[in-house]
Amino acid sequence: MMRQRCRVFQVTANENLGPGGGKEWARPALMAGKMEAEERSAVPGPSRAADKPGPASATAEHSGRLFLFNAMVEKFLEGLMEAGSYQKFARCYRKFYKMQPEITRSIYDQFVSQLHASIHAEIQEIKDEGNLEALLDSLDKLEREAGDKTDLSWRPSGIPEEDLRCHLVPYLLQQREYLRRLLKEKQQENARLAQSVLAGREKIEEMRREIERRQQAWKNLSQSQRELVLSLQGSSEGM
């Protein structure tokens, strides 16, 4: 009885499958296997780009943070490309893939390559605009310089008054020193101006004395001239 049921089920299945038998039901599995084989055989663009030495490997020796940043970007791109694998791409365009699998593969490779290059270009533009490489290098330099110091950095004590005093006292002392230096400079400048004023006054006093001396000489000359004229007039009358 069981054998007869199995035979009836087998005949019914073969009739439902049609002339091709189980081939029609096996096509989706074969298609998925073919896509997986093509995806494994042809490595996408990002993987090839990751194998080639680029700017990240060239500058890795100079900046640890820059190397980590570039590695993070590459890891993100790898995850992005894995999320948009060729198998998923072919599933979205299943009919076109059935008709032209090679062209589908070529379109996917070009799309992935252009997407990878576009993302790299935008990230590089952001790095150039923000001067990111120089800033990361400066952070690495500060870290190296701080590694040689053994002094403990400041830590809050938990008492707001003391913490505020620790921050304000150095600033106020610095401001006091600055004001003292500024006052000293102004005093020196005022002393120079006072010296120049005294020198000007002395020059004016000297000019005043010179004017008085010349005025007195002119008066004496005028007096002598009048006396001479009077003496000449008296002698002419006596004659």
Examine the domain organization and report whether 64 and 173 are in the same domain: no
In a domain, 104, yes or no: yes
Examine the domain organization and report whether 102 and 200 are in the same domain: no
DSSP state at residue 53: -
Tokens 């004016």 belong to 204
Percent over 90 (pLDDT), the chain: 23
Average pLDDT in the chain = 75
In a domain, 24, yes or no: yes
For residues 117 and 111, give the distance between their C-alpha atoms in angstroms, rounded to a whole number: 10
Q: Are 85 and 36 in contact (CB under 8 A)?
A: no
Q: What is the pLDDT of residues 90-118, one digit of tens each?
A: 888 888 888 888 888 888 889 888 988 89
Q: What is the pLDDT of residue 201?
A: 94
Examine the domain organization and report whether 138 and 179 are in the same domain: no
In a domain, 79, yes or no: yes
Q: What is the pLDDT of residues 44-53, one digit of tens each?
A: 444 443 444 4
Picking from 97, 116, 146, the residue at the C-terminal end of a domain is 146
User: What's this model's pTM, rounded to 2 decimal places?
Assistant: 0.36
Which residues constitute the domain of residue 103?
13-146
Task: Give the count of domains, the chain.
Answer: 2
Provide the residue type at 122 as one letter: E
Looking at per-residue pLDDT, the higher value among 10 and 111 belongs to 111
For residues 88 and 83, give the distance between their C-alpha atoms in angstroms, rounded to a whole number: 8
C-alpha closest to that of 93 among 81, 82, 104, 102: 104
Q: Which of 42-46, 79-83, 103-107, 142-146 has the highest mean pLDDT?
A: 103-107
Q: Which of 46-55, 122-131, 139-148 has the lowest mean pLDDT?
A: 46-55
In a domain, 156, yes or no: no
Examine the domain organization and report whether 58 and 129 are in the same domain: yes
Examine the domain organization and report whether 42 and 141 are in the same domain: yes
- The yes-or-no verdict on residue 2 having pLDDT over 50 is no
Tokens of 110: 């070009």
Number of DSSP helices (H) and strands (E) in the chain, helices first: 10, 0
Taking residue 214's Cβ as centre, other Cβ atoms within 10 Å add up to 10
- The yes-or-no verdict on residue 224 having pLDDT over 80 is yes
Examine the domain organization and report whether 97 and 183 are in the same domain: no
